[in-house]
Amino acid sequence: MAEKKLRQKMNERAASERKKDFKEVPLGYTPEQAIAEAKRCIQCKKPLCVKGCPVEINIPAFIKVIAEGSFDKAAKKIKETNALPAICGRVCPQEEQCERECILAVKGEPIAIGNLERFVADYERETSNPKLQTSKQPKTSKSKKIAVIGSGPAGLTCAGNLARLGHQVTIFESLHVTGGVLTYGIPEFRLPKAIVNLEVEYIKSLGVEVKTDMLIGNVFTIEELLKDYQGVFIGSGAGLPKFMKIPGENLDGVYSANEYLFRINMMKAWQFPESLTPIKIGKRVAVVGGGNVAMDAARVSLRLGAEEVFLIYRRTKDEMPARKEEVHHAEDEGVVFKSLALPLEYQEDGNGWVKLARCQQMKLGEPDASGRQRPVPIEREIFDIPVDTVVCAIGNSPNPLVPQRTPNLKTEKWGGVIITEDGATSIAGVYAGGDIVRGAATVISAMGDGKRAAKAIHKLLA
Amino acid sequence: MPKILKKEKLAENISRIIVDAPHIARVAKPGNFIVIIPTANAERIPLTIADADVEKGTISIIFQVVGGTTRLLDSLKVGDEIPHLLGPLGTPSHIEKFGTVVVIGGGVGIAEIYPVVKALKAVGNKVITIIGARCENLLIYKKELGEQSTKLRVTTDDGSCGRQGFVSDELKDIIAAEKVDLVIAVGPVPMMRVCCEVTRPHKIKTVVSLNPIMLDATGMCGVCRVTVGGQTKFACVEGPEFDGHEVDFADLVARLKPYKDMEKKALDHVCKLVEKLRG
Ligand SMILES: Cc1cc2nc3c(=O)[nH]c(=O)nc-3n(C[C@H](O)[C@H](O)[C@H](O)COP(=O)(O)OP(=O)(O)OC[C@H]3O[C@@H](n4cnc5c(N)ncnc54)[C@H](O)[C@@H]3O)c2cc1C
Ligand SMILES: Cc1cc2nc3c(=O)[nH]c(=O)nc-3n(C[C@H](O)[C@H](O)[C@H](O)COP(=O)(O)OP(=O)(O)OC[C@H]3O[C@@H](n4cnc5c(N)ncnc54)[C@H](O)[C@@H]3O)c2cc1C
Ligand code: SF4
Ligand code: SF4
Ligand code: FES
């Protein structure tokens, strides 16, 4: 058995430096670090880590070859099951997935599986011939035409898998840029857009056709698509922003996180006026919520010149659904956590602009059905935070447009499309996966869904 | 990429372009709009589909140059390709036989009512159209709307064409003279607001087309939220048409103004850019 060694820490740029720009925060492992970390893995016969990965990457196998210094082989091994390792290594909530199950977590620190995955993917990208190797499958009589709605991780994965099986795939994306949340939601300093673009180019190199500016439901209905395509996959995501329905939410200076991040990531509002889309980030910004979206909004605000950023969350830091790493990053960079607080209303400055957030002080009470302690108000403890910008990041619901325009598509009350185990919807030949099915979830679960649906579609059409 | 097939100047700062976009023309309905990004780095801006020709696969768009992005759009020429054009968007106008309908267009709103007038007339309504502008030079589509409407009324602020006054003056007279079943008003916010006040005491349903700031225009950002009947609605998906008697216009006006100062900067920047391009 390998002797007990500490988990390799990834180097990061100092908070004081990084909070001024949009360059990536973690710097990645060096080859020496990667090998040292890989050597900590005890190569379990029954690896529990694999069970924790929604796409069941053969984790011990790829780690073994890293330990031997064969990074290219490791990349190949991962890509057998996961087409987007450079993305997953960066954004997966590993502490709730593969790394939580790792046997070493019982007594010490789990293997840094995500960091290793990221290292391998980056190594491959940086050392390989930049010209993409196309591995287009020849079209055969068995090739079918398949339409994929949405170019987020679910759609991209489904399309890539079907193309590799020899099918003719067209992705319809309503926005002007591909990538879904990977592009418009997650900021550059967490997921460089060059990486997302490369993955999209790779999928295109497999023969997938991508049509942007195509809002399915309006341009074509699903019924119409089924006349030209033998199969349809819906990966339209959860992009409908929730609001709290409290007074003052429509004041100027109050943004949904989607609007805020869309202006910045997608429309490059920080380059105004070279880029013509404006944004106004005040001196004191309040971000409401405790998930990845809230962390991103808060950290973006600091980078764009806010002097103080408050994160208002109704439970405590321990209950925040965001990745632990992002919570730490936000804290290091100086985001002020106002835990156990719930906004009651926003007040204006007399000119229609928000000037303060009135909040209710909360405490943790009895556990609710999910086992988490329920936040309950402490009577009469109400406080004000003076702010000039508010970003509401309390979650997103499934995009309602496709279900609304597709009468036979069965959905849950909360809007999620209902699917069977292999991803089939209530309409023959139509599959769905990712956030449109789960509500706001994760990149890797969306990819898992896309992959599973591709398999099922292939089988159905064979 | 969608190509500009034709371009005309209709009035000072108002242009019409005809764009090759068969997939949009095929399904466009009166009241639908598009989002356009005329050049890289421009904003995504919403513009109404002023007409669609299914056979030719074209749509026409009429726009007024008011800021940076419309200025850039106006710098495009016949043959140029538009990088991004998304549509049709929004909920189409409700078209049925109502009886007598007064359709009002103010400013560039005149272009926006054209497909609505045409459709209402086609299903057998008596359509009285009122159009208004500051002066005759800014009146567009007079001939086209005259051909489509049962009656056409014209007002100008300075009296250079038609009646001197506002579209609402004309609306008052029509309501006094005959039974009106529906009013549709499209134009600047103050105009729509006044029209709603004219019809409110008479309990005549009045539909307005709201123009809040939009971004994605597919229901994903919420910047277009408006208050209608005390409820928040996303105008890009649930609108842009709403019952004017329920609309909170003060809220709309406030939500249109946050970037006023930046819009000027954007326009200056674009003007310099366009001049440079001209050399
Ligand atoms: C700010 C932010 C940060 C996040 N951080 C993380 C993280 O760190 N780790 C993690 O695992 N997850 C994170 N998530 C969640 C993760 O991004 C999503 O779970 C994932 O992207 C879902 O993938 P998807 O393919 O189902 O949908 P999306 O990525 O939402 O893609 C859907 C695509 O479909 C398009 N579309 C929608 N409707 C139509 C239509 N009618 N016609 C055509 N196209 C349409 C949309 O424009 C979009 O491009 C984050 C989310 C956000 C918003
Ligand atoms: C559903 C919809 C349909 C529209 N149809 C048309 C149309 O057919 N023809 C047309 O000329 N315009 C139309 N508009 C208005 C058009 O979108 C704006 O004029 C455009 O966005 C201005 O962009 P800009 O960058 O050139 O100017 P900006 O710099 O954004 O704005 C310059 C000035 O225009 C005002 N403005 C900004 N946005 C709007 C808006 N949405 N509505 C009204 N004024 C605005 C600003 O307050 C400012 O004073 C429509 C708007 C909506 C929401
Ligand atoms: S894809 Fe995500 S869950 Fe799976 S091994 Fe990689 S980091 Fe872990
Ligand atoms: S559970 Fe941990 S130690 Fe075991 S194989 Fe997986 S990563 Fe290695
Ligand atoms: S413009 Fe974004 S939701 Fe309407």
B163-216 pLDDT tens trace:
899 999 999 999 999 999 999 999 999 999 999 999 999 999 999 999 999 999
For range B240-269, the mean pLDDT? 94
Domains in chain B, start-ordered, CATH in brackets? 3-89 (2.40.30.10), 100-209 (3.40.50.80)
Q: How far apart are CA B159 and CA B169, in angstroms?
A: 13
pLDDT value at residue A1? 47
The shortest CB-CB distance from A174 to any of B68, B86, B259 is to B86
The DSSP element (H or E) to which A78 belongs, if any, is helix A71-79
Report whether residue B111 contacts ligand 5, using a CB cutoff of 6 Å: no
Chain position carrying tokens 């242009």: B15
Length of chain B: 279
Among B36, B218, B256, residue to substitute to test ligand 5 (most atoms within 8 Å of Cβ): B218
Q: Which residues of A touch B87 (CB under 8 A)?
A: 215, 218-219
pLDDT value at residue A2? 46
Q: Decide if B218 and A401 are in contact by the 8 Å CB cutoff.
A: yes
Q: How far apart are CA B170 and CA B187, in angstroms?
A: 15
DSSP letters, B108-169, are THHHHHHHHHHHHHHTT-EEEEEEEESSGGG--SHHHHHHHSSEEEEEETTSSSSEES-HHH
Q: Which residues of chain A have pLDDT under 70?
A: 1-4, 129-141
Q: Is B221 annotated as a binding residue?
A: yes
Q: Decide if A352 and B257 are in contact by the 8 Å CB cutoff.
A: yes
pLDDT value at residue A132? 47
Q: What is the mean pLDDT of chain B?
A: 94
pLDDT value at residue A131? 47
Domains in chain A, start-ordered, CATH in brackets? 11-132 (1.10.1060.10), 145-239+396-461 (3.50.50.60), 243-392 (3.50.50.60)
pLDDT value at residue B203? 95
The alpha carbon of A237 and the centre of ligand 1 are apart by a number of angstroms equal to 5
Task: Count the helices and strands in chain A (H runs, E runs).
Answer: 18, 17
pLDDT value at residue B275? 85
Strand partners, B33: B48, B89
The alpha carbon of A413 and the centre of ligand 2 are apart by a number of angstroms equal to 36
The percent of residues in chain B predicted with pLDDT above 70, rounded, is 100
Closest CA to A434 of A425, A443, A426: A443
The DSSP element (H or E) to which B105 belongs, if any, is strand B100-106
Strands B4-11 and B14-20: antiparallel
Counting atoms of ligand 1 from 1, which one is nearest the CA of A179?
49
Q: Which residues of A touch B220 (CB under 8 A)?
A: 239-241, 258, 262, 399
Q: Is B135 annotated as a binding residue?
A: no
Q: Is B195 annotated as a binding residue?
A: no
Among A102, A116, A117, residue to substitute to test ligand 4 (most atoms within 8 Å of Cβ): A102
- ipTM of the predicted assembly exceeds 0.85: yes
Whether residue B136 has pLDDT greater than 50: yes
The DSSP element (H or E) to which B18 belongs, if any, is strand B14-20
Q: Decide if B223 and A278 are in contact by the 8 Å CB cutoff.
A: no
Measure CA A342 to chain center.
25
Decide if A414 contacts A439 (C-beta within 8 A).
yes
> To probe the interface with A, which of B86, B249, B256, B257 has the most A CB atoms within 10 Å?
B86
For range B26-43, the mean pLDDT? 95
Strands A231-234 and B151-156: unpaired
Chain position carrying tokens 């809002």: A215
pLDDT value at residue A462? 81
Q: How far is CA A319 from CA A315, A396, B248, in A?
A: 6, 19, 39
pLDDT value at residue A5? 80
For range B139-153, the mean pLDDT? 92
Q: Which residues touch A332 (CB under 8 Å, ≥6 apart)?
A: A15
Q: What sections of A144-263 are H helices per DSSP? A: 153-164, 181-184, 193-205, 222-228, 257-261
Closest CA to B52 of B23, B93, B78, B86: B23
Q: What is the pLDDT of residues B51-107, one digit of tens each?
A: 999 999 999 999 999 999 999 999 999 999 999 999 999 999 999 999 999 999 999
∠A275-A281-A284 over CA atoms, to 5°?
A: 165
The alpha carbon of A52 and the centre of ligand 2 are apart by a number of angstroms equal to 50
Q: Decide if A263 and B69 are in contact by the 8 Å CB cutoff.
A: no
The alpha carbon of A249 and the centre of ligand 5 are apart by a number of angstroms equal to 15
Q: pTM to 2 decimals?
A: 0.94
